[in-house]
Structures are given as C-alpha cells and as structure tokens.
Amino acid sequence: MLWGLLVALLLLVLLLTRLSHFRRRQLVRRRHTQILDQIRLLRLLLEQLQRHRGLCYGSMSGEPGLEAQRWSVSQQVDALLTQAKAHEASLFWYPGWHHVLAGWQEVDAQREQASAEQVLLLHNRMIAQLLNTIEEMAGKQDLVCLGHLVPQTEGLWLELLQNAELLGQARAIGTGIAARRQNSALQREELQRLAEQIRLRAYGVPARLYSDALLRTQMAVAVREAEDSLDALLQLIEDLLEGEKGPLVRAQNYFQTATRTISAQLALVDMLLERLQQNALSPT
C-alpha cells in the first residue's frame, strides 16, 4: 500500500514537472512569436521612413514630381505608427523607440522651414534609433546568434537591414544630386563613400545565404535578384558621379532603381524572419 502510494506520488511529480516544462516552452514560443511580429512591423516602418527620407530630400532638392509620393508615404508611416500602439507596452521599454516617435514629429514640423540637408539629418538620426531598437529587441530574444557566439545564417536578417540603410542613404543623396540643387562636391563625396561601403558590405550576406545548403533552394532566386539590383544601382551611381556638367540621370529614375535594390534586400529579410517564425512554432 505504502509503495503504491509512493509510486503514485512520484508519477504525479513527474507529470507536474513535464506539464510545467511544457507551459514554460509555450510561454517562450509565444514571446518569441510576439517579438518577431513586432520586428516585422518595425521592419515595415523602417522601409517607409527610408522611402520618405529619399522622397523628401529629392523633393526639397528640386524634383517636385516626388512630392505626391512623399505625401502618400507619410500617410503610410502614420498608419504604421498607429499599428505600433498595440505594442506600446513592450516598445515603451526601448529608449530608441521614444526617439523615433519624437523624430517623426520633428521631421513633420521642420520640413517646411529647415533646409534639405537638415531634414535629411533628422531622418538619419530617427532611422538610426529605429535600427537600434530592432537590434536591442533581437538581442533580448537571441534572434541573430541563435544560441551561438556569432551570427548564424538565419540571423543575417539584421545585417541585411543595416545594409539596407546604407542603400537608403545612397538613395536619398543620389536623388538629391540628380535633382541638381544638391549637386555639391560634399554630396558627391558622400555618395562615393556610400558606394564604396555598399561594394564592401552588401554582397557578403547574399553570398552567405546562397552558400547555405539548407537555404539555397528556397532563396536562390531572391539572392540573384538582390545581387543583380546591387550591380544596377552601383552602375547608376557611377553614371551619376561621372556627369561633369551636371547629372545625366533623372531623379525619379534614380529613386526607382535604388528602391528596387532596397526592396530586394528587404525580401531576403522577410524570408529569414519567416523561417525564424516557423522554427518558433515548430513542435521540436
């Protein structure tokens, strides 16, 4: 009788232990999924803020045809910020997020009275804070190194976002140069510097993704598109900088080419985040 009672108690303890472990795993998975959902939303916000920067700088630099697009993108930014309010309880604890909110208000307030260069710098600071927020969120959930000491292949989405910001800055400055008013030696030197950074950094991640046997089949087409679009943008930058008597590249054409390049990088980001989401939901 006593032995039977002891065995029953032992089985109960084991059952409760397994149930507690299962619940903890469920909570971790739920939190993991919530953070990924938030990062995806901030990824969309990052894309639109970068787009707004380029359109705003191009419009203020002498290309009025970009203004209608700028207004439309500003509405999309407002809509995404409204969506982000659903995550305010979590985002509140990231200092960079408060700078993003304040930065957007400052851009809106200064756009009519500040110079194009000043508004560009406001955008740059705001976007840097958003990237810092995303990086901090990823670090807390180990979404880059994934249990290792160095970033893993599926964790390269963050580096892709950082490279997309290089491309975003090149899009803004190049659009300003093509619009002529910002065709100064300083702006051309900055675009040349960005082009060099893009050559050094932007091709590495697609190459690593393609070299991964588990990812190659799924991502081969997207990787090729990312590499081809980088080639096209860098060639266009070269053409833009070689125009001695003024840019030979139209601002809207340059903006569209740069946007295709950024979109190709962000497509890779989305694919990697989707894989992380699937892994979080898998039973293993």
Q: What is the pTM of this model?
A: 0.89
Residue 13 has pLDDT above 70, yes or no: no
Helix axes 204-211, 157-178, angle to 10 degrees: 140
| Mean pLDDT, residues 223-230 | 98
Alpha carbon distance 197, 202 (integer Å):
8
Q: Which two tokens stand for residue 262?
A: 């950024």
Residues in the chain, overall count: 284
182 versus 62: which is more confidently predicted? 62
Taking the mean position of all CA atoms in its chain, how far away is CA 273? 11
Cβ–Cβ < 8 Å for 157, 273: yes
Cβ–Cβ < 8 Å for 278, 162: no
Q: Residue 73's pLDDT is what?
A: 98
- pLDDT band with cut points at 50, 70 and 90 for residue 284: low
Q: With pLDDT > 90 as the criterion, what percentage of the chain qualifies?
A: 73
Which pLDDT tens digit goes with each residue over 146-169? 888 888 999 999 999 999 999 999
Alpha carbon distance 184, 170 (integer Å):
15
- pLDDT band with cut points at 50, 70 and 90 for residue 43: very high
Which pLDDT tens digit goes with each residue over 81-131? 999 999 999 999 999 999 999 999 999 999 989 999 999 999 999 999 999
Alpha carbon distance 219, 205 (integer Å):
12
Cβ–Cβ < 8 Å for 206, 226: yes
Mean pLDDT for the chain? 90
Residue 51 has pLDDT above 90, yes or no: yes
